[in-house]
Structure 1
Amino acid sequence: MLSFFNNFYFLVAIKLLIGLLSLSFVINISGKGNLAPSNASDQIQNYVLGGIIGGTIYNSAITVLQYILILLLWCIVILGLKWIKTNNRFMGQLLDGQPLVLVNHGKLNIANCRRAGLSAHDLSFKLRAAGYYYWEDLQRVVVEQNGQLLIIPYGEENPKYPLVTDGQIQTDILEIIGKDDTWLTETLAGMGYRDLSRIFLVEYRDGKLLVSAF
């Protein structure tokens, strides 16, 4: 009986160590510094991870080799989803949702507030926490996939958010500065950047584009 318990706890320790190592590996490879979920797919990944480790670590019927294979499959799925979301805007929005405009030129969009699950109290509280008390004074308010608010007041000539990230055009930010996709692509082409997929980041400052490309 003693040897059985010793063997059982030894296998649990091995599985726990493997789980911790695989988790550290995925975090480092995916570029995330912590486990705080920033969107829907991140939350699901955390749930699945908890189910894998919690459901198999104490199950003596699952061997260490089977456990390693399960974690390997999980790592492949996570990294595959990350690549898809980074390189395909449509799939990224399908998996994580997309930002919702709550305020546009001082007008409140109640339907989008409801879609985002924000009550009038929640929205007012978030605006007050950011230092704004009246939505009529705001040019644009957008709720991101992680629930954070992107707030642009009137008179903001240089938006604090990029126009292009990972080759994807941020149309909401373009609208804030009164531009469109055609203007952006033509301006970038004039600067020698014709392939958006090779552009890492584009920022707008004092009427000029600051470009970082691969």
Structure 2
Amino acid sequence: MSNYGLIALKFVVGMIMMILQINLLGKVEFARNTPLNQIQNYVLGGIIGGVIYNPAITIWQFLIILLLWSLIVAIVKFGREHSRWLRLLIEGRPVMLIADGQLRPTACLQVGLSANQLMEQLRNSGITTLSQVKSAVMETNGQLTVIEKDAANLKLPLISDGQLNAEVLSLIGKSQTWVQTQLQAAGLQRVEQVFVGEYVNGELRLVPYPQSA
């Protein structure tokens, strides 16, 4: 096989593996701008870009490298979906930057957000002064979710992926006992059984995991 033919074949194999990884991770997950996804993209791009033009690496060696990396990605994805500890380690938690109208400078510094960057993100959300903000949360993907003081409902879930958000619970003025009562009324025993729970118009709307999950 000519050198150009080998390059073309490696390119095709690389594209196929990229498509498989996108389907493996899910299109939404692949598009999220998280540190883990960036690392996965950089490594995959480095593998494909660095190997395609290297004639010393055969197509079989190239395929084995891609399969090994895809296996690592699949293991990490499985672990993140089935282990709360691993998910927190990889993704972290959303950080409350403004709570009850009070700015938390320590939290801003924790996520590496300067005052200018914070105000810029608030302006991008249509906010001109801090006095308009009831709460603001830095999401795990780096996006800022802002809740204005005159907002009718929270934009943040009280429960997500089986985890209770203590900051949101404090914002709505409820206790964990109240949450447990709502769970029992819905036929659930634990927060871990809830895929997502929203506080809307004074009610907790719960969507549980499927029975087989």
- Classify the TM-score, shorter chain: 0.7 to 0.9
List per-residue Cα deviations over 1:105-126 (Å, max 9, x = no partner): 2222212222222222111111
Unaligned ranges ≥5, structure 2: none
Q: How much has 1:151 moved relative to structure 2?
A: 0.9
Looking at structure 1, the residues matched to 15 and 185 of structure 2 have their Cα atoms a distance apart, in angstroms, of: 49
* Aligned equivalent of 1:67, options 59, 62, 69: 62
TM-score between both structures, scaled by the size of structure 2: 0.86
List per-residue Cα deviations over 1:59-117 (Å, max 9, x = no partner): 22222122112111211222222222233333222222322221122222212222222
State the match for 1:87 in structure 2: 82
CA contact (8 A) 2:122 2:128 kept: yes
Kindly report which structure 2 residues correspond to 1:10-89, keeping only aligned pairs within 5 A, or say none.
10-33=5-28, 35-89=30-84
List per-residue Cα deviations over 1:21-57 (Å, max 9, x = no partner): 1111111222124854421111111111111111211
Does 2:204 correspond to 1:209?
yes
Q: 1:18 to 1:75 in 2, by over 3 A?
A: same
State the match for 1:3 in structure 2: none
Does 2:115 correspond to 1:100?
no
TM-score between both structures, scaled by the size of structure 1: 0.86
Aligned identity (percent) is 38
State the match for 1:146 in structure 2: 141
Q: 1:133 to 1:189 in 2, by over 3 A?
A: same
CA contact (8 A) 1:40 1:97 kept: no
Looking at structure 2, the residues matched to 27 and 182 of structure 1 have their Cα atoms a distance apart, in angstroms, of: 41
Unaligned ranges ≥5, structure 1: 1-5
RMSD: 2.1
CA contact (8 A) 1:41 1:95 kept: yes
